[in-house]
Amino acid sequence: MKPPPFDYHSPRSVGEALEILAATGRDGKVLAGGQSLIPMLNMRLAAPGHVVDINRLTELAAVTVGPDGVRTGALARHAQVERSGPVAAAQPLLRRALRLVAHPAIRNRGTVVGSLVHADPAAELPAVLTLLGGSVRLARRGAVRDVPAARFFTGPLESAAEPDELAVSALFPALPPRSGTAFHEVARRHGDYALAGVAARVRLDDDLRVAAAEVVCVNAGPVPELVDVTGDCGHRAPGTADWGAAARAVRDRIDPEADIHASAAYRRHLAGVLAERALRDAATEAAGG
């Protein structure tokens, strides 16, 4: 299939891009890596009158690592972020999650910020942003705002980004001390979207007992939601915490849907199994093991 006709814009600066988006409004669509938008155009699931290609805006390709975490610009590709040593040191969950995203060819073009704006409940990065309490920076002509992950994902394939806004970057916060993370998922074939997946984070207190245990599940509801299981696993050392009870709590609190790939009951079961594994691994990492 060929896409429906559209006017193509290739702005040379962020300011020019924002002018075009202000003029095109609901009829405009940003093109970043194109790994989701181009298939949607070809399948006629989207028919914008204007496509605003941001690939010349190289100033948006920066990935910066600071005390507050990792900030990825709108043109930072999955592969660029995945391969960065400083990113892996500052926020290891990003590399773990990105290795589960599609195939290398797609990761060479797809962008981290594009994946967040696309807001697919089956995608890994929205779960990571939600678990870490990150945010997305949105710019429109004359204004910039930071939207926390908890308010950014508004529905399946829907985000808080308005048609005249460009997502310029995303912040993935660093972890507090004595914290660990893990990401586990099951897909029918490597590189496919996951049937179910779980990102987990565990923080220990000064006595090395569990102070916080949280997960976000992939493909478990319309938007990624933080599930706090701190009260379920018990305020104990990682080796004696009740991770089984935490996993049962995850199963009870998610709302997966059935589709041609898996029933809702199977997804719920899978999420519980993966949650237990991910929480154990995150706790082991938090304990320094």
Ligand X SMILES: Cc1cc2nc3c(=O)[nH]c(=O)nc-3n(C[C@H](O)[C@H](O)[C@H](O)COP(=O)(O)OP(=O)(O)OC[C@H]3O[C@@H](n4cnc5c(N)ncnc54)[C@H](O)[C@@H]3O)c2cc1C
- CB 249, min distance to ligand X, A: 26
Indicate if the alpha-carbon torsion angle 9, 15, 19, 22 is positive or negative.
positive
- CB 30, min distance to ligand X, A: 4
* Residue with token string 């948006």: 60
Compare residues 69 and 126 and give the one whose CB is closer to ligand X. 126
Helices 264-286, 243-253: axis angle to 10 degrees equals: 140
Per-residue interface string for the shown chain with ligand X, residues 24-63, x marking contact by CB under 6 A: -----xxxxxxxxx-x------------------------
Pairing of strands 226-228, 210-218: antiparallel
3-state helix, strand, coil in the chain (%, to 5): 35, 25, 35
Taking CB under 6 A as the rule, does residue 94 contact ligand X?
Answer: no
Contact region with ligand X (CB under 6 A), list: 12-20, 109-117, 229-237, 270-278: 109-117
129, exposed or middle or buried, with CB in 10 Å at 0-12, 13-18, 19+? buried
The tokens describing 265, both together, are 């009951």
Q: Which of 149, 166, 170, 247 binds ligand X (CB under 6 A)?
A: 166
Compare residues 31 and 81 and give the one whose CB is closer to ligand X. 31
Alpha helices in the chain (DSSP H): 14-24, 37-42, 78-83, 85-90, 92-98, 104-109, 112-118, 124-132, 149-152, 230-233, 243-253, 264-286
Per-residue interface string for the shown chain with ligand X, residues 169-208, x marking contact by CB under 6 A: ------------------------x---------------
Compare residues 29 and 96 and give the one whose CB is closer to ligand X. 29
Per-residue interface string for the shown chain with ligand X, residues 218-257, x marking contact by CB under 6 A: ----------------------------------------
Taking CB under 6 A as the rule, does residue 136 contact ligand X?
Answer: no
Rounded Cα distance between 1 and 42, Å, is 5
The tokens describing 84, both together, are 């960065």
Count of chain residues binding ligand X (CB under 6 A): 28
Residues of the shown chain interacting with ligand X in the complex, contacts defined by CB under 6 A: 29-37, 39, 74, 101-102, 106, 110-111, 113-115, 117-118, 123-125, 161, 166-167, 193
